[in-house]
Structure 1
Amino acid sequence: MSKNLNNTEYQGTITFKTTGLYHVYLQGRELPCTLSRQLYPGNNGSKTPQRTGLDPVVGDRVQVSCNQAEQGVITAILPRENQLSRRAASPKPGGYAGEQVIAANVDQVVPVFAIAQPIPKWNLLDRYLALAESAGLPALICITKSDLIPQLDTQEREELQDAIETYRRIGYPVHLTSSENGEGLDNFRQALQGKISVFLGKSGVGKTSLLNAIQPGLGLRVGIVSAFTGKGKHTTTAMQLLPLDDTTHIIDTPGTREFGLWDLDPDELEAFFPEFAPFLGHCKFRAGCKHEEEPGCAVRKAVMEGHIHPRRYQSYIRLKEDGLQ
């Protein structure tokens, strides 16, 4: 353990967050911290932080003041390099769903999906990828439970192969992994090296087993998938930053079954689908084309000619509809 932390200001990184309590890594150790009253609105003792980008999240670099009892108080949140935000799952009164910042200061986004148990929802993957594109962050896809491939029927295998080829053709790296037999783990671990990666995925896809397999010392608790519903149960209940080594970190997030993009402008969404790029600007109505029913749409023509996968196009339309609600 490092020297005593008392009567001093330090800079550290938030590694864990739950209601009213934060863990901050600083000076070679984790310190439980609370939030300074100065960061609450109006400095009036309110227990709800401001929702203006000042609410600390995992990955935030913060200033911490320590007293003689080595208790930490977060006194400032340093400027963020980036942040990932989603639409809050529970709408506010009146039907307005606010912003939920997932994590800050990350290097890449890693959507995690299982080959089966639960079955992959590729439209959810497209939402994760659009989130990464909107934040200007690279994404790599991890598909777990590759040991279950022999159990797939012919149609399921063809759909899986089609999905893998589609995403690789767009330019997204796809890693097939198995926590059971170790397939693909070395290459996947290398793709994480030296970066802060945020894992996104539904409950039950094997994120926790994957982390335990690539770093056995973590000893994380593994959940199960219900045989009745085919859905996973939450084992990660709060955001946490986990070290794989001195330069490699994972931000593990609770499983999500729905995922809405925050502050989505439907007219900007086309830029979050990289395979659309060669066809944008070639529509009959140029920038005025919505890529829906307009005649002479180059994007829809590309879908019909096989240059854009129909399922990806449908994900684009569904996201646009979400943004218009």
Structure 2
Amino acid sequence: MAQRHRDHLPEDFSERSLAQDVRAGLTSSPKTLPPKWFYDKVGSELYEEITRLPEYYPFAAEREILLDHAAEIVGAASCRHLVELGSGSSEKTRALIEAVLATTPEGEQAAYRAIDVSDSALHAAADDLAARYPTLDIETVRADFEHGLAQALAVDEGEVFGGRLVVFLGGTIGNQAPDQRAHFLTTLRSDLRAGDAFLLGADLVKSPDVLLPAYDDAAGVTAAFNLNVLEVVNSRLGADFDAADFRHVAVWDAEHAWIEMRLEAVRDVHVRIADLDLEVDFAAGEQLRTEISAKFTRERLQAEFEQAGFAAAGWWTDRANRFSGSLWTPA
């Protein structure tokens, strides 16, 4: 079956984006770095290890939802075309793909479009899916959906696959601040057509006794994952961070209903970032925020989606009610 690739990003997109984010984040107060830079080769391997930790429930909980309810979700969306934002390995999406294939009438075409900024991740996932599902029409799109959503979701003239189910998994929406999330949902709503639907994976508010260990495990894997972002800046921008100068911190912010991951300087630190001609000082105890991970209630999601012009079309949780999958359609 057809396998196509489109690239909407310049070759140096990742390098320019990292430089912009590091300069802006390390010269702001408080200092920040966006979590997308966690995922170099080492960071991706550490994240895979995190998903297997007993404390880290989100990955397994979302996979449980998809395995248990994929057919119901696809039936409610009435779709034959899946579009995944931030697709990565596309591993959890297989349950949805299989449900689409099972319900596509003979003579009609099921399709999957994977959207990600990583060329290597897209090609690896596409090759795997093509081998598993030879009748599936596969398209990979290298795009930054945070800033180029309309381009990533664009439909070619004459392209007809029936309704689309746009999928955004992993609780990644929780990494967006409220104003970013509102902009994303409003933009998404304007880019959907009649008959399309949107499936969101979002983590739910729960006791800090459950949340905090998920981001600060006893084995220290999450700490290593967090500290590795300093090595990313070192290797790609010629910085001289020493990971021993920082420690991993996870904090539950009850007011905003989110976890913050931070790196705290254990002593006064001076860092030079050669490629940016930038020098940065950290006072002992100063913290660099590397991630927010917002947690939601059903009511909060309903309010945010309605504000953006969506109507609720389905709600599922894992058996322990830790994580949610919710379906939304243009109102």
**Would you tell me which structure has more helix in proportion to its own residues?**
2
- Higher-RCO chain (CA-CA 8 Å, sequence separation at least 6): 2
Q: Answer with 1 or 2: which has the greater Rg.
A: 1
Q: Give the structure-2-normalised TM-score.
A: 0.29
Q: Give the structure-1-normalised TM-score.
A: 0.30
